[in-house]
Structure 1
């Protein structure tokens, strides 16, 4: 398994969320750098969205 450190934060002290995420080797084998980064970014985006509470709302004036 390939291991990657995923980090998300707000630049405030102590706000970082850090986790080592494993991606199965067979998902990355034989890929060029672009394809490999695409898979890693897909894992990162899914992980990031699990860590954050995020929303938007319309403000009426």
Structure 2
């Protein structure tokens, strides 16, 4: 697994904002292959999804 590719992909996706990241997560959960993840293998794409979920969990937490 190329951690560098994964990190770059996560960073690029996050630059699009929270709503775009939520849409990306939903698409990936439905098995949609996205342009942003086309160069990743299945394991790398799964890691991107896990990392995006973890990032958004911080924003979705309510005090």
Q: When the two structures are superposed, what TM-score results if normalisation uses the length of structure 2?
A: 0.41
Q: When the two structures are superposed, what TM-score results if normalisation uses the length of structure 1?
A: 0.42
When you count helix as a share of all residues, which structure comes out higher?
2
When you count strand as a share of all residues, which structure comes out higher?
1
RCO higher in structure (CA 8 A, sep ≥6)? 2
Larger radius of gyration, structure 1 or 2?
1
